[in-house]
A and B are shown apart, each in its own frame.
Chain A
Amino acid sequence: MTQSTGKVKAVNGNLVVAEFDRDVRQNEVTYVHAEGLRLKSELIRVRGRYAEMQVFEDTTGLREGDAVEFSGELLSAELGPGLLGQVYDGLQNPLPELARAQGAFLQRGNYLAPLSSERQWSFTPSASVGATLAAGATLGSVPEGIFDHRILVPLAWEGTWKLTWLAPAGEYTIQDPIAKLVDAQGRERVAKLSQRWPVKLPIRAYAERLRPSEPLTTQVRIIDTFFPVARGGTYCIPGPFGAGKTVLQQITSRNADVDVVIVAACGERAGEVVETLREFPELTDPRTGRSLMERTLIICNTSSMPVAAREASVYLGITIAEYYRQMGLHVLLLADSTSRWAQALREVSGRLEEIPGEEAFPAYLESVIAGFYERGGMVRLNDGRMGSVTIGGTVSPAGGNFEEPVTQATLKVVGAFHGLSRERSDARRYPAIHPLESWSKYETIVARELVALGRRTLRRGNEVHQMMKVVGEEGTSIDDFVTYLKAEYLDASYLQQDAYHEVDAATPRERQVEVYGWIGNLLGQALRFASKDEARSFFQRLTQATNDWNRTPRGSSEYEEARAKLDGMVAEHAVGNEGRSQR
């Protein structure tokens, strides 16, 4: 089939208009030829004989009359063994290889194959010849790091297929034929170790989607205990700059209890990706004892890289996540930040001179965001195995104001909201997740009634605090004052966590159950003090002792001693257990 060709008629930033001759497809990949380079672009609007394209590169030097080549293919991801451990840009170019090929600066117009075509993979067939298979069915597997990477009947193949030939066990590259299948019409197609999938379409080769009910432990106490995330769930972290969104994402990417982590750094600082990039290969994954990089994939389209590729980077991330879900794995996609992607949409929308919606964002912003988060989920695959894609997206609201369109559109479609607050980060209370404003629809890992008690204490403590600002400490009853101190204590010694301390940075599930069990008991415990000063000094000492406890490794003798010390301190002021009678 001959593809259409065209000529550039207008250039405005990264928006290029070309006149074309034959048929074109919406969202197909096109190449603009300029200064001896081929610049990758995507067709985003057709008007008469004019195609409007967003170019994924700097458009300096383009001239009217430059040739445009239409590929006929939608923007697609290459899916196959060798994805894990890679660092891609938004168009799936491997960045380390680009650096080797062209040096420290990203020169435009260079595109490399996402997966090595030379690397040999040791294939073990598992399907039987003659079987009738559908897209997503397993043909065999190759070992990839810590996983058995299943080789699937290409996901884009519709209908059912009869397997007529399967390669014997042995070494193959991603180019070698691995299976031959015939459809009902007798058409034969060849499957390889890798396949392509258009990134903007969800992969749906599963039996059913399930409600997310299994907790996903992030080892961040305030999240797991108070605002939990479930496997297959979605959550968002909006917050003003400097409130710690990215640090929270980084900690989660290290400690989250999932098989594969995909980090999509979209329009944010390059320096932050570099941390992950340089540190992960050195860190060991406590679950497997192998390098953390073996379960991680980084997609990196930082703020100074081409704006149009931001959108592509988010979709590339979710597509790869869905692909690994098809293997029965649990995948976490961390997108930082979805606002930058929304801004990229806004830039393009502005150049297209579309009628703007709120804050000049395009009117379709909400449906685009909803469509993205809905690609997450827990699924039962056709062979009965479970897999999940959990999505955590940061939002960078303008002015730190959560009323803005991106935050609002996101809140409608996520299952948990971790709102970061400026006041908490200014007071160095990390993680700065606001304990009264955040929410989660998922199940906590500790006893539910203790969480409710913790919430009540925090809310009541805040009320007392507000009241004290008006009536002063002297106008506050000692009971109220103790409630306030309890809330402050819960905040200081449980909700806050030191991200840079080797023990405190990550609190495993069992430890959270134990520590929060102890703290929950204290919150329900009636305490007697002679004066407010005595109460304050008691809670100051208790906070310090609990923080010492949080910093000792579980199972060590110091750990037990610290706990015993806490018990002793509380016993001095305890007066029976009011919490029990409440329940």
Chain B
Amino acid sequence: MKTTYTRVEQIVGNVIAVRATNVAYRELAEVSSAQGRSLAQVIRLESGRAFLQVFAGTRGIGTDAEVRFLGHPMRVHFSEALLGRAFDGSARPRDKGPELEHSWVSVAGPSVNPAERVIPRRMVRTGIPMIDVFNTLVESQKLPIFSVAGEPYNPLLARIALQAEVDVIVLGGMGLKYDDYLYFRDTLEAEGALGRTVIFAHTASDPVVECLMVPDLALAVAEQFAVGGKRVLVLLSDMTNFADALKEIAITMEQIPSNRGYPGDLYSQLAARYEKAVDFEHAGSITILAVTTMPGDDVTHPVPDNTGYITEGQFYLRGGRIEPFGSLSRLKQFVNGRTREDHRTLMNVMIQLYAACKESREKLAMGFQMSSWDQKLLSFGQRFEREMMDLDVNIPLEQALDLGWRILGECFEPAETGIASKMIEKFWPRPQAQPSAATARREVGSAR
């Protein structure tokens, strides 16, 4: 029989301390007070006292609140019945569906043995040239979208989710605006994808502790699907809110902050979640796409900075476009060597030329004379932005590569691109594409 404790000795922030014996570290408890009931988790044991973070917050909790320990750590129901459902950060239904009991799986389980991992080999096609051509998304990759408030990161997530060929989508929302939660739900429903989706959503008005639970719940469920052979895409938005929730609890617990108030273990905490991305040799896979909003558009802020060291690349979403500079898919070389032989060359050359174009634009802005080389770069840059970078462009990879050659052919002489001669012979567009040189010139004119 589980004992109920009623001696709350301390209430600080969202953490209470109660004098209790035989409590396990990370055990769950139920706290009942005049405010209602809430789950709570043991986060520290010290000389006969257990410290619990209360999911619903401590507002209104009395020193006589009843604390009943449940004898197990955080867990979540797992079965096919999850599909199409939405839950909150305590894993209670957010939709009108029934509570799901039994068949529990524990959350934040052990990590995968590195010796059991395989080198990812499958590309995830998104139809977005800035991803498919320049920073290919790979199954089992963990990739954040670095962005700032106001950018269309949630629509981008939704679009990738709908176009990617995966079996199950798990959405974890942290500090999500209620509108955004509805947006995700409605978009997935309208496209007929809700039936293969599980949603764990913590909205901005929910208690902050529940925010901490969302990634673990989402990833625990994803892991079960993957072990069962499913290819799972996990969408997390927004991980900065998760990190801020960590910060809040750490400060409440009087931990020494390391950088801008964040706890010293921020890296390990984030890594524990992101490293759940995996490709099982004889089962499914987990791919993680997560939004990280950068406070003040500052990539050196601790959250994006630590994230960048953990994830396998990052997409910068700025001005409604995926930036070619800084955006990176570290796993792209596992797949882009086998898509088409010109993929890598084209990817590198176009980015180098676009970088050179940016320099020419700086010169132009400062009023310097434009050499004929600068002119070529300017016209290239403009076409590149309009025909490839725009997020409205939705074409398969092969078409995007052909388009790339066409743009190069119409803007440059082969030798100017520095592409190896063998590649030029095979892929450089034949001279019949001549007339557009005039078009290019006109565009430069308009750019001025």
Mark A residues whose CB is within 8 Å of B. Answer: 9-13, 58-65, 87, 95-96, 98-99, 103-108, 240-242, 267, 269-271, 273-275, 277-279, 300, 302-305, 307, 340, 343-344, 346-347, 349-351, 353, 356, 359-361, 396, 398-401, 426-428, 469, 472-474, 492, 500, 532-533, 536-537, 540-541, 543-544, 547-548, 551
Contact = CB atoms under 8 A, between A and B. Distances in A.
A59 B331 CA distance: 33
Contact of A536 (B116, B140, B373): B373
B368 A473 contact: yes
Query: Of B116, B120, B301, B355, which is in contact with the most chain A CB atoms at under 10 Å from its CB?
Result: B116
Contacts of B330: 242
Contacts of B302: 398
B226 to A, nearest CB: 10
Given A270-B275, A300-B114, A541 B415 contact: yes
A320 B306 CA distance: 30
Contact of B119 (A278, A533, A536): A278
A280 to B, nearest CB: 12
Interface string B351-372: 1100100000011001011011
A474 B369 contact: yes
Given A241-B308, A474-B369, A360 B114 contact: no
Given A106-B113, A274-B119, 8 more contacts: A61-B26, A61-B73, A63-B23, A105-B112, A242-B314, A267-B268, A346-B258, A353-B256
A242 B264 contact: no
A344 B265 CA distance: 8
A193 B180 CA distance: 64
B326 A492 contact: no
Interface string B397-416: 00000000000000000011
B114 A492 contact: no
Interface residues of B, number: 81
Given A277-B114, A469-B362, A543-B418, A398 B48 contact: no
Contact of A62 (B24, B48, B280, B368): B24
B79 interface: no
A343 B267 contact: yes
Given A242-B314, A278-B119, A273 B45 contact: no
Contact of A359 (B259, B275, B305, B306): B259
B325 A551 contact: no
B24 A540 contact: no
Contacts of A343: 264-265, 267-268
Nearest to A354: B256
B339 interface: no
A350 B262 CA distance: 12
Contacts of A242: 308, 313-314, 326, 328, 330
B8 interface: no
B115 A360 contact: no
A62 B117 contact: no
B150 interface: no
A54 B355 CA distance: 49
Contacts of B305: 241, 398-400
B21 interface: yes
Interface in B309-354: 309-310, 312-314, 325-326, 328, 330-331, 333, 337, 344, 348, 351-352
Contact of B421 (A10, A106, A544): A544
Contacts of A241: 305, 308-309
A166 B371 CA distance: 81
B47 interface: yes
B114 A274 contact: yes
A544 B418 contact: yes
Interface of B: 21-27, 44-48, 73, 109-120, 140, 227, 255-259, 263-265, 267-268, 271-272, 274-276, 280, 299-302, 305-306, 308-310, 312-314, 325-326, 328, 330-331, 333, 337, 344, 348, 351-352, 355, 362-363, 366, 368-369, 371-373, 415-416, 418-421
A60 B112 contact: no
Contact of A428 (B114, B268, B312, B352): B352
A563 B190 CA distance: 62
B366 A472 contact: yes
Given A12-B44, A59-B25, A472-B368, A274 B117 contact: yes
A354 to B, nearest CB: 8
A9 B47 contact: yes
A229 to B, nearest CB: 24
A498 to B, nearest CB: 9
A547 B420 contact: yes
Contacts of A469: 362-363, 366
A99 B115 contact: yes
Given A428-B352, A472-B366, A277 B45 contact: no
Contacts of B259: 359-360, 398
Contacts of A428: 348, 351-352, 355
Nearest to A492: B418
Given A104-B280, A304-B272, A548-B420, A95 B114 contact: yes
Leading 6 A-B pairs by shortest Cβ distance: A399-B300, A304-B275, A472-B368, A303-B271, A241-B308, A360-B258
A98 B25 contact: no
